[in-house]
């Protein structure tokens, strides 16, 4: 007993050191980016801004928020993330449950139909024409409906559903529960960790997308945050490269903001909210599940 | 001759089996009704636009559209395969992906396993939250930091190695072809380890706690518990991730490679994806890009089925 | 099995209807191609009734919300013309989708080199600009050289180009600048007694760089690296030609001058004057080095050095040289493109074609060029005694506080799609040392530029096989260049040079060359000249 606990202690020390190292190397890039976003743009060109801003400024953030459309864009982004994430997990989990049952007729055919779509994509123009035909262009639903379902997420959820012992489901059936009730009351509570993970993946996907906004909408009332920011940054770096073409006519432009520091501020503004959500989702990952208690 | 009889026979057999099948199917109505929306979704959003793939066999002209562009058969496939650079980019793609499979694939699993062994819940949460932050840093920024660390003039790595007298002269690491693959794979591991671990952490959270208690009573140490309890319990997830990792062995992101690429390492850093991006997509040669993409997809699909087959035989875990 | 067939059937049906849908739309558009004459008759010359015009810009970074209430420029334009614009933007893929769907907005701005441009012109979706002008606003004077340059084989021209240097509009003093040049740090030159003329010969240049190296100059704690040069700039200084005596296109990478440049840079590398990382640093890294003061000499202007200047006004880069090659040829450097950037076109289905054409005419006016650059005259700027632009204090203050906000308020630099740079250049306000030096070096290397127009359409159009070959060759060249410059011996260098050429041949060099030469001859024919290279023209 004594030997084991000492071995345990060494293990813990080693593990904490290993984890601290991981924290250090993974935090560093993010930290540098945050620090850079608070640094003067012109000064940042000189590099070596790491631990702390060398010339502190909030000009980069001012520039990000000077375009007031960004507030509305946050509204759009939060809306699409919440709705998109919920509907995606619900829809995908539903299909996954059906697919997880070994007795499902036609299961292999379904699976082949599904897997094929993971590899073959028709391209942008056919997609555009399709969306036009079914009225998704310039419609908020273009953010929601095309990402309702993902084969990849379905397969992951399905594999988790399949770890639930068959007897549990069978005994529920004998008790007279229907498939939908089994899914809602038995299976989902047992697999919250994976559903939380998929929700996170989907939420991050929704939060970060801008291509769909660029391709399929033209209304500024539908612009998500990432789209507004992406344009801001390409515009800034474009302006800079353009001024080098000996064409720009703006002498002595205020230089507190450069495309590099603006990019960093943008990254912080765009990721801070989604990163802040993570700890709330985390409790679903850490909590262990007790299948035995259900069995008994 | 016997064809007519055969056909009759077959029709009867089908009717018969349909009659037998129908009740079973009906009893499955609830389950089937769960799956159909997914299939309908894919028919609408994936299969309907799929005619766009036909441009791989055409000299696609935007104005003519898919219906009227001239057909050229396998011309674009041939251009790619007969390209003097073909073998080189194929080699680089495979090499980087094999390294990623050997080192990059297990990294998040190992991380998740050790994370699970942390006793302090708060520390555990902090580690987990921080470890996935690099996922949100774009490759342009992340790659820039990698280059800074490796810089010959003031990079930390060179300063460290020279001050420890391990090397005499600073090394321009990113210019050394033999180091590029390793740098690339390490950078990808660093950036993706926390994000990639999320799914394994979710899997570990689903492990029955009773099994740990049982193992404890049996006197299993920490390593033993990781090896004999946790790992087998998440094996299903691991295998599925592995099957997909194998199927995408011809894929590499291009953003990460482009930021670390330079003329001195081009011979080892150009992959199928970066090459096709440069000579295809960037030149708006949609037919060529689609053709290479299609060829890659076919390979991926074959690999997926093969890996699934092998996995079913060997580990009893599989997609289907 | 049956259900599968049904499924396939549904797909085919739907797909069929989609395709049919878009193709019928296309044919109706072609029918309505010609401008509507009935409307023209009723058009009032000074019609200012408010109208809304939709305008797509194929540049995904572009954004402008029309705001005639708060934005001074928008207000002026709407007041002057009655036009309000609803801008949308996106990349070329989105433009392709718009074209495929047949729904295009009233106006479209597209990059002149994009393949979508040709598709638009031939699709009937956009109306010929020459016809529109003739019909609605004959006073709209589009330079003939622009019309000729962008004329479609069908005889019409469809779009107005921005940043086009029309030769008939040029006045004495208008200069097309170059992004190539040779620059060195003035403070270090003064310190070590180096003069700008020292860079005019190879030996002088080497001696100057050696002085920097031998003095072990440090700046801000960083070792100063003598030179970061690009081979193509050096070979231009050596006089590498682009047209031979028969008038054929010459590939500059294969001239003796290019080889001489590689040998020269290889020599600099061996003497420790050109660092190895000159071949590996990306723009951001080199910019960082330059702004840290760790670089003495450079060959391109596209690296920003304002960060360094802001810290130390003495540490400024000035024009030096240019270095002359062994053959003593006149240096000739590339100017910025003269054939413009984008084309703006009018939809053949646009409701108010008459008003749009007048609106375009209004925007291309010389003073409007200044207004879209700085904001409306009288608010953000006015002419000073010398006829140059003087920015108002109000504007300068607002911009220094928050440049992005100022843009929203004054509209400066937000509507460049019909601009010509010439009126702007003539009235350019010059204030600080950095600008003065910039202008000086622009003039210095501007002397060595040539009329590049005929070479500007030799780049293969996107989507063609030649575009693919060109990208492949660029790849080989990037590799070979680095190998040659860092070659261990002159023999190795020659070997790499020959290997590079052999590989290029395998990748389809000849096909690309023939294509480019044909384009080149075409352009010269359109311009009505036999020779365009300065040394050929003198004969």
**Residues C347 and C466 both lie in one domain:** no
Residue C367 belongs to some domain of the structure: yes
C289 interfacial to chain B (CB closer than 8 Å) = yes
pLDDT at site C539:
55
* Residue B94: pLDDT over 70: yes
Q: CATH no. for residue C396?
A: 3.40.190.10
Q: What is the arithmetic mean of pLDDT over B157-170? A: 86
A19 interfacial to chain B (CB closer than 8 Å) = yes
pLDDT at site C24:
36
* Residue B226: pLDDT over 90: no
* Residue C346: pLDDT over 80: yes
> What's the pLDDT band for C313 if we cut at 50, 70, 90?
confident
* Residue B12: pLDDT over 50: yes
Domain count, chain C: 3
Render pLDDT for A39-80 as a digit per residue (tens, 0 to 9).
887 777 777 777 888 888 888 888 888 777 888 999 999 999
Residue C4 belongs to some domain of the structure: no
Picking from A136, A142, A247, A264 by the largest number of C CB atoms within 10 A of its own CB, the best residue to mutate is A247
Residues of chain A contacting residue C336, judged by C-beta atoms under 8 Å apart: 245-247
d(CA B191, CA B196): 9
For C83, phi and psi rounded to 5 degrees? Answer: -90, 130
Average pLDDT value for chain C? 85
Percent of chain B with pLDDT over 90: 41
Yes or no: say if B222 and B116 are a contact pair by the CB < 8 Å rule: no
* Residue A185: pLDDT over 60: yes
Question: What ipTM did this prediction achieve?
Answer: 0.86
Residues of chain C contacting residue A44, judged by C-beta atoms under 8 Å apart: 307
Helix (H) or strand (E) holding B237: helix B231-247
Sign of CA dihedral C106, C109, C114, C117: positive
> What's the pLDDT band for B26 if we cut at 50, 70, 90?
low
**Residues C343 and C249 both lie in one domain:** no
Of C307, C336, C424, the CB nearest to A46: C307
Residue C371 belongs to some domain of the structure: yes
pLDDT at site B165:
85
Domain assignments of chain A as residue spans, ordered by start: 59-291
Yes or no: say if A186 and A294 are a contact pair by the CB < 8 Å rule: yes
**Residues C438 and C465 both lie in one domain:** no
> What's the pLDDT band for C74 if we cut at 50, 70, 90?
very high
A142 interfacial to chain C (CB closer than 8 Å) = no
d(CA C515, CA C428): 40
A13 interfacial to chain B (CB closer than 8 Å) = no
C430 interfacial to chain A (CB closer than 8 Å) = yes
**Residues C322 and C414 both lie in one domain:** no
* Residue C54: pLDDT over 60: yes
* Residue C1: pLDDT over 70: no
Maximal C-alpha separation, chain A:
81
C-alpha distances in Å from residue C7, one per residue of B42, B43, C1, C3: 11, 8, 10, 6
Cβ-based neighbours of C466, under 8 Å, separated by 6 or more: C460, C511, C512, C515, C516
Q: Topology of A59-291 in CATH? A: MetI-like fold (1.10.3720)
* Residue C43: pLDDT over 50: no
**Residues C311 and C255 both lie in one domain:** yes
Contact C279 B147 (CB under 8 A): no
Domain assignments of chain B as residue spans, ordered by start: 2-57, 74-315
Residue C8 belongs to some domain of the structure: no
pLDDT at site A286:
60
Residues of chain B contacting residue A197, judged by C-beta atoms under 8 Å apart: 198-199, 201-202
Contact A288 B118 (CB under 8 A): no
C70 interfacial to chain A (CB closer than 8 Å) = no
* Residue B147: pLDDT over 90: no
Helix (H) or strand (E) holding C296: strand C295-300
Q: What is the arithmetic mean of pLDDT over C275-300? A: 88
Residue C5 belongs to some domain of the structure: no
C-alpha distances in Å from residue B163, one per residue of B157, B166, C486: 10, 8, 27
Of B62, B264, B267, the CB nearest to C280: B264
Q: What is the arithmetic mean of pLDDT over C369-390? A: 89
Nearest CA to B269 out of B256, B279, B282 is that of B256
Average pLDDT value for chain B? 86
> What's the pLDDT band for A293 if we cut at 50, 70, 90?
very low
Render pLDDT for C186-212 as a digit per residue (tens, 0 to 9).
999 999 999 999 999 999 999 999 999
Percent of chain B with pLDDT over 70: 92
B282 interfacial to chain C (CB closer than 8 Å) = yes
Contact B190 A25 (CB under 8 A): yes
> What's the pLDDT band for B181 if we cut at 50, 70, 90?
very high
**Residues C68 and C120 both lie in one domain:** yes
Q: How many CB pairs below 8 A link B and C? A: 112
Q: How many CB atoms lie within 10 A of CB B90?
A: 15
pLDDT at site C17:
41
C-alpha distances in Å from residue A203, one per residue of A231, C317, C503: 22, 49, 48
Of A26, A116, A155, the CB nearest to B133: A26
Query: Which one-letter DSSP state was computed for residue B54?
Result: G
* Residue B13: pLDDT over 70: no
Question: What is the extent of the structural domain holding C122?
Answer: 48-170+339-426
Maximal C-alpha separation, chain C:
90
* Residue A296: pLDDT over 70: no
Superfamily of chain region B74-315: MetI-like (1.10.3720.10)
Which is more confidently placed, A5 or A58? A58
Q: What is the arithmetic mean of pLDDT over C102-107? A: 90
CA nearest to A255 within chain C: C400
* Residue C21: pLDDT over 80: no
Of A7, A180, A264, the CB nearest to B30: A180
Query: Which one-letter DSSP state was computed for residue A135?
Result: T
pLDDT at site A61:
87
Q: What is the arithmetic mean of pLDDT over B271-285? A: 88
* Residue C8: pLDDT over 50: no
What tokens appear for A164 in the block? 């639930």
* Residue A200: pLDDT over 50: yes
Q: What is the arithmetic mean of pLDDT over C456-461? A: 84
């Amino acid at each position: 007993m004594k030997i084991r606990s000492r071995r345990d202690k060494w293990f813990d020390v080693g593990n904490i050191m290993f984890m601290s190292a991981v924290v250090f190397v993974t935090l560093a890039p993010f930290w540098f980016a945050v620090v850079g976003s608070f640094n003067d743009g012109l000064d940042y060109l000189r590099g070596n801004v790491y631990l702390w801003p060398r010339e502190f400024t909030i000009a980069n953030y001012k520039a990000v928020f000077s375009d007031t459309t960004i507030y509305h864009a946050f509204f759009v982004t939060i809306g699409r993330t919440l709705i998109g994430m919920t509907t995606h997990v619900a829809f995908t989990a539903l299909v996954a449950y059906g697919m997880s049952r070994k007795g499902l007729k036609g299961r292999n055919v379904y699976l082949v139909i599904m897997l094929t779509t993971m590899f073959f994509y028709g391209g942008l123009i056919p997609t555009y024409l399709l969306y036009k035909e079914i009225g998704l262009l310039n419609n908020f639903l273009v953010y929601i409906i095309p990402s309702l379902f993902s084969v990849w997420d379905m397969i992951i959820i399905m594999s988790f559903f399949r770890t639930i012992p068959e007897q549990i489901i069978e005994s529920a059936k004998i008790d007279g529960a229907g498939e939908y009730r089994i899914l809602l009351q038995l299976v989902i509570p047992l697999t919250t960790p994976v559903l939380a993970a998929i929700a996170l993946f989907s939420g991050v996907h929704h939060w970060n997308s801008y291509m769909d906004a660029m391709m399929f909408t033209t209304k500024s009332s539908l612009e998500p945050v990432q789209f507004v920011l992406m344009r801001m940054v390409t515009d800034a770096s474009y302006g800079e490269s353009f001024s080098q073409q000996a064409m720009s006519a703006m002498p002595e432009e205020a230089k507190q903001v450069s495309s590099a520091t603006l990019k960093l501020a943008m990254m912080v503004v765009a990721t801070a909210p989604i990163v802040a959500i993570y700890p709330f989702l985390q409790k679903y990952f850490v909590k262990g599940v007790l299948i035995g208690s259900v069995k008994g | 001759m016997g064809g007519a009889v055969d056909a009759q026979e077959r029709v009867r057999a089908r009717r018969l089996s349909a009659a037998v099948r129908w009740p079973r199917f009906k009893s499955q109505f609830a389950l089937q009704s769960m799956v159909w929306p997914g299939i309908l979704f894919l028919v609408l959003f994936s299969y309907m636009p799929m005619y766009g793939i036909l441009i791989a066999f055409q000299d696609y002209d935007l104005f003519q559209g898919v219906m009227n562009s001239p057909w050229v058969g396998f011309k674009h496939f041939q251009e790619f395969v007969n390209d003097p650079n073909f073998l080189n980019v194929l080699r680089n793609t495979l090499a980087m992906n094999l390294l990623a499979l050997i080192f990059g694939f297990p990294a998040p699993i190992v991380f998740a396993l050790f994370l699970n062994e942390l006793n302090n819940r708060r520390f555990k949460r902090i580690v987990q939250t921080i470890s996935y932050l690099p996922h949100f840093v774009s490759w342009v920024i992340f790659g820039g930091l990698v280059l800074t660390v490796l810089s010959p003039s003031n990079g930390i790595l060179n300063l460290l190695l020279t001050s420890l007298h391990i090397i005499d002269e600073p090394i321009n690491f990113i210019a050394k072809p033999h180091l590029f693959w390793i740098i690339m794979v390490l950078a990808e591991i660093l950036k993706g380890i926390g994000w990639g671990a999320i799914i394994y952490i979710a899997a570990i959270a689903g492990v029955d706690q009773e099994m740990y208690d049982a193992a404890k009573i049996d006197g299993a140490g920490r390593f033993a518990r990781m090896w004999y309890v946790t790992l087998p319990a998440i094996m299903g997830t691991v295998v599925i991730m592995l099957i997909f990792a194998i199927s995408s062995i011809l894929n590499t992101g291009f953003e990460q490679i482009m930021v670390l690429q330079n003329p001195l390492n081009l011979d080892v850093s150009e992959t199928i994806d970066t090459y096709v991006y440069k000579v295809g997509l960037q030149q708006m040669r949609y037919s060529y890009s689609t053709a290479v993409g299609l060829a890659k997809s076919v390979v991926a699909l074959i690999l997926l089925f093969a890996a699934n087959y092998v996995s079913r035989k060997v580990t009893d875990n599989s997609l289907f | 099995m049956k259900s599968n067939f049904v499924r396939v059937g549904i797909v085919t049906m739907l797909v069929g209807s989609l395709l049919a849908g878009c193709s019928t739309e296309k044919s109706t558009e072609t029918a309505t191609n010609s401008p509507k004459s009935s409307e023209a008759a009723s058009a009032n010359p000074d019609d200012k009734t408010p109208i809304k015009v939709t305008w797509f810009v194929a540049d995904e970074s572009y954004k402008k919300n029309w705001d005639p209430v708060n934005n001074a420029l928008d207000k002026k334009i709407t007041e002057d013309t009655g036009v309000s614009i609803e801008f949308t933007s996106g990349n070329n893929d989105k433009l392709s989708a718009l074209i495929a769907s047949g729904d295009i907005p009233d106006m479209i701005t597209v990059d002149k080199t994009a393949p979508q441009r040709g598709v638009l012109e031939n699709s009937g979706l956009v109306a010929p600009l020459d016809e529109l002008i003739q019909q609605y606003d004959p006073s709209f004077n589009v330079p003939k050289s622009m019309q000729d340059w962008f004329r479609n084989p069908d005889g019409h021209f469809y779009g107005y180009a921005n940043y086009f240097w029309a030769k008939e509009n040029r006045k004495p003093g208008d200069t097309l600048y170059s992004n190539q040049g040779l620059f060195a740090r003035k403070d270090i030159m003064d310190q070590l007694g180096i003069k700008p003329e020292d860079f005019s010969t190879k030996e002088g240049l080497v001696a100057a760089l050696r002085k920097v190296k031998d003095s072990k100059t440090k700046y801000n704690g960083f070792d100063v690296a003598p030179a970061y040069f690009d081979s193509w700039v050096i070979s231009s200084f050596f006089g590498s030609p682009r047209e031979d005596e028969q008038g054929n296109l010459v590939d500059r990478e294969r001239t003796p001058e290019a080889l001489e440049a590689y040998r020269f840079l290889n020599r600099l590398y061996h003497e420790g004057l050109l660092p190895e990382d000159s071949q590996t640093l990306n723009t951001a890294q080199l910019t960082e080095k330059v702004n840290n003061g760790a670089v003495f000499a450079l060959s391109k202007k596209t690296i920003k050095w304002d960060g360094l200047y802001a810290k130390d006004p003495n540490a400024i880069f000035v024009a030096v040289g240019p270095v002359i090659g062994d053959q003593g040829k006149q240096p000739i450097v590339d100017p910025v493109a003269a054939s413009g950037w984008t084309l703006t076109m009018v939809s053949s289905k646009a409701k108010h074609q008459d008003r749009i054409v007048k609106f375009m005419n209004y925007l291309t006016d010389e003073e409007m060029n200044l207004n879209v650059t700085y904001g409306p005259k009288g608010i953000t700027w006015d002419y000073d005694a010398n006829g140059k632009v003087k920015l108002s204090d109000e504007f300068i203050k607002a911009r220094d506080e928050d440049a992005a906000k100022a843009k929203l308020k004054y509209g400066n630099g937000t509507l460049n799609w019909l601009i010509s740079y010439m009126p702007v250049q003539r009235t350019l306000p010059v204030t600080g040392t950095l600008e003065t030096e910039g202008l000086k070096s622009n003039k210095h290397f501007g002397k060595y530029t040539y009329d590049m127009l005929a070479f500007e359409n030799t780049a293969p159009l996107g989507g063609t096989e030649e575009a693919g070959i060109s990208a492949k060759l660029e790849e080989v060249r990037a590799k070979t260049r680095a190998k040659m410059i860092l070659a261990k011996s002159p023999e190795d260098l020659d070997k790499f040079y020959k290997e590079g050429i052999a590989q290029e041949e395998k990748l389809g060099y000849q096909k690309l060359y023939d294509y480019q030469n044909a384009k080149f001859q075409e352009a010269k024919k359109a311009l009505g000249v036999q020779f365009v290279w300065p040394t050929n023209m003198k004969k």
